[in-house]
Chains A and B, each alone.
Chain A
Amino acid sequence: MTTRRELLAALRRAVGDGAVVWRPEDLAAYEFDGTVERSVPHAVVLPSTAEEVQAAVRACRELGVPVTPRGAGTGLSGGAVPLRRGVVISTARMRRILEIDPNDRVAVVEPGVANLELSRQAARYGLFYPPDPSSQAACTIGGNVAENAGGPHCLALGVTQNFVLGIEVVTAAGDIRWLGGRAPDPFGFDLRGAFIGSEGTLGIATKVAVRLLPVPPAVVTLLAAFPTVGQACEAVSSIIARGIIPSAMEMMDRLCIEAVEAGFRVGYPEGAGAVLLVELDGLEGEVQADAARVRAECLERGASEVRVAANEEERALLWKGRKGAIPALGRLAPNYYIVDGVVPRSRLAAVMERVAAISARSGLRIANVFHAGDGNLHPLILFDEREPGAGERVLATAAEIMRVCVEEGGTLSGEHGIGAEKREFMPWLFGEEDLATMARLREVFGADSGLFNPCKVFPGGTGCGEMGSHAAAVRAAGPDAYV
């Protein structure tokens, strides 16, 4: 057994005194992410270079101490929570944009660079980085790689997986390797693609090369109000069936609309059962033609009103409601719990009915804000943690919703990851052999010892604690929680 003193001494040798956090009051900041899991690490290291990350990983490996990588800690599946304690390796000090090459339309960044910061800097060259998780002001590119992050604008353009060209990683074995490069296709097996979305269980990204796109010259944002969620879902399907793939199609239900109006007064139509936010971008002529068709489809499917943002200010206001929806829900209840699931787009309306039935049965109010275009739901379960048993009821209700997603042909997560939260549900989707095949990837990166981000993604594992047994841990994700 390694003593804490030995561990700290080894970490100081690896990264220097100033990069090791060890005081209990400082460690408290690293015990949680955007969800309900909690566990305090023994130490946190804040390396500045890949070599320091490597030294820290090797030190932990030698001592047999678990390692948990951490970006901004905005994750919503417990991925950055050190469930078996040990050492958290934070990328907070690795936040340089190393290069933006406007000719190749490539940026190379350190993992701690915030998503939005990259797009801001790229804007100087008329370029942007498309994946835009709602936490984009805070969440990091390294974290985005780990989670294969999405966002509202992933419908037409794709998710992190579609924009990362190459990754320098420190593997769980403690080696520094490039997966892919700056060219569009990797040479050999696509380990780059397999690493993306591996939730910090295989290694830590230390540099990321991403593809940038030219900022589209024209953007049109429409807001359609519908009497029911079902009608709005039908409109989504018929827009797609017309051959139009908007850059974003976001939906909010009645409860969400009420919360947003109470919070921000963005002017969403009163009494609507659902609002659908549709954004189109591209060339002026293309966008205007498509916007007219989207408008017609919405009206045909029963929209009571369709508004088109006339200028950038109006557009920002329409989006303010969407982006602020979750914090606004904080006004309706002291606590909320965000669920992330995906269903086939054609099953959306039916699934929303089943979610409403679950809400009625459980007595818990559920608000819905979701990426309708790709069938990615985000039911928000509202509750008050002070009520006895509330935590267990919320988790049981979330599990029931996940079960519905799987039954309807969907999946357990569209963008938040499996993390600690949903790993016990994985056998609903995958057979034992499927999971065992996935786990073989760990051998490739030297992660087979299970000490690299333990207790994540895969079911089982010892010493990981039991989900749902710590009702007291269920708390508000807070106003800085995002979808």
Chain B
Amino acid sequence: MRMSEAGGFVAGAAPVSVEQPGSLAELVALVRGSRETLVPVGGGTVLDLGYAPAGPFRLVDVRNALGGAVEHQPDDLTATVPAGMTVEAANAVLRAQGQELKLDPPLASRATIGGTLAAAMAGPQRGRYGAPRDQVLGLMFVRADGEVVRAGGRVVKNVAGYDLSRLLCGSFGSLGIIAAATLRTWPVRETVDVEWQVGDIATGLDLAARLTAAGAWPEVLDIVDDGRGIWLAARLSPAALPAAERVLGGREARPWPPGRFEQLRDGGFREEDVLSVRVTAPWSLLGRAAAALQRARPGLLVVRPLGGMVRAAARRQEGVASRELRGIVEEVRRLVRPAGGFAVVERMPDRYRADVDPWGEPPDGFDLLRAAKAAFDPEGRFSRGRFIGGI
């Protein structure tokens, strides 16, 4: 996170203060006593995303308040994890027992569990294992009035009551502060990492469709254009490799180059990245969305067909001027919006913000989103102005 005098910037805006409550009780007291908007933050990996908060705000680093140990139940394939812990730290504990979380957000060594869920940041394993929300069995969270409440439970199947964890996941810190989560854990499986040169993205999409139609269910299946070629990168079980080779027949294959997984996961959020655009759309629109994003001259383009995602990332000296970027993003939005897709500018230089709307127009049914904000945070205490439509 970039630092101002007071602390980290949020979408280009400086907070009036950075708070570091040391316990859940201190966090609750802060929530109860604060008049300014509070912007909860974990590792700060996605603070550039979204609008700047409306009005003066305090940045609340929740990592000390929401610490503690992982409670792992390996036989149940579940773990309860404090929200302030990083994804990598949690996984280090679980891997000692041969299991792991299927959360792989950008910069997993910094990204916290709470931040990953709140910002709905998925990674290369999204296609097979679903979004972060799909990993959540239960949540504890701090309500806007400071009350600490629970939703869901600790078992893998549960339909008791409304699933509020769904509402919190992806709410971008604007409905409540996630304090702890019970998550699914997964056995670590033996895999092989292999990639095939595909020539262009359309061919990559076609091969991905044929590979999965043939019954392969890869842990990772991304099409990546890294400026040195276009590859279909797969992480497969060894038993699936022969079937994959039959489908991909005759193409040049190679093992992943070093750092491939991190590139697929972190692209757009690496130190040198200045621009990142993420598109979510049904499979059939991914090729056209990718073609439009190519015009933004990204140094890295990742298409994740099973996750319905395209991400374009540019470093300094790459990318396009703000007006041009706006035109491209608006074109993509017109393409994917009717299908319920969206294009989010996850990262951009601050000077672009006047021209480029990071979220785009609110979706149909925005009145329900506003009603949700009003129901869960009537005074606008959490991250006011940050999310879609300035919620």
Contact = CB atoms under 8 A, between A and B. Distances in A.
B44 interface: no
B243 interface: yes
Interface in A113-168: 126, 147-148, 150, 154, 158-159, 161-162, 165-166
B181 to A, nearest CB: 15
Contacts of A10: none
Interface stretch (A25-33, A239-247, A474-482): A239-247
Interface stretch (A86-94, A181-189, A251-259, A316-324): A181-189
A415 B76 CA distance: 18
A162 B126 CA distance: 12
B154 A178 contact: no
Contact of A185 (B74, B120, B237): B120
Given A193-B133, A285-B240, A440 B157 contact: no
Given A185-B120, A283-B240, A240 B75 contact: yes
Interface hub of A242, A418, A430, A435 (most chain B Cβ within 10 A): A430
Contact of B242 (A240, A285, A342): A285
A189 B159 contact: no
A105 interface: yes
Given A243-B98, A344-B76, A181 B339 contact: yes
A185 B308 contact: yes
Contacts of B336: 183
B150 interface: yes
Nearest to B307: A184
7 contacts: A104-B283, A158-B134, A189-B167, A194-B164, A243-B98, A414-B157, A438-B161
A241 B75 contact: yes
B227 interface: no
Given A103-B283, A409-B155, A444-B375, A286 B369 contact: no
Contact of A105 (B133, B283, B340): B283
B119 to A, nearest CB: 12
Contacts of B365: 177-179, 191
Contacts of B160: 411-413, 418, 422, 426, 429-430
Interface of A: 101, 103-106, 126, 147-148, 150, 154, 158-159, 161-162, 165-166, 171, 175, 177-194, 196-198, 209, 214, 216-218, 237, 240-245, 282-286, 289, 342-346, 371, 374-376, 409-418, 422, 426, 429-431, 433-435, 437-438, 440-441, 443-445, 457
B281 A416 contact: no
B132 to A, nearest CB: 10
Contacts of B240: 282-283, 285-286
Interface residues of B, number: 82
A441 B167 CA distance: 10
B207 to A, nearest CB: 14
A154 B75 contact: no
B286 to A, nearest CB: 10
Interface in B87-139: 98, 120, 130-131, 133-134
Contact of A414 (B158, B167, B175): B158
Interface string B283-296: 11000000000000
B239 A189 contact: no
B157 A437 contact: no
A270 B363 CA distance: 60
Contact of A240 (B77, B163, B307, B369): B77
Interface string B142-169: 0100010111011111111111101101
B103 to A, nearest CB: 15
Contacts of A422: 160
B212 interface: yes
Interface hub of A190, A192, A217, A412 (most chain B Cβ within 10 A): A190
A413 B162 CA distance: 12
A345 to B, nearest CB: 5
Contact of A438 (B134, B154, B164, B189): B164
B370 to A, nearest CB: 9
Given A186-B340, A434-B151, 14 more contacts: A158-B134, A184-B131, A185-B170, A187-B388, A188-B366, A188-B389, A197-B159, A245-B186, A289-B239, A344-B73, A374-B155, A411-B153, A418-B160, A457-B161
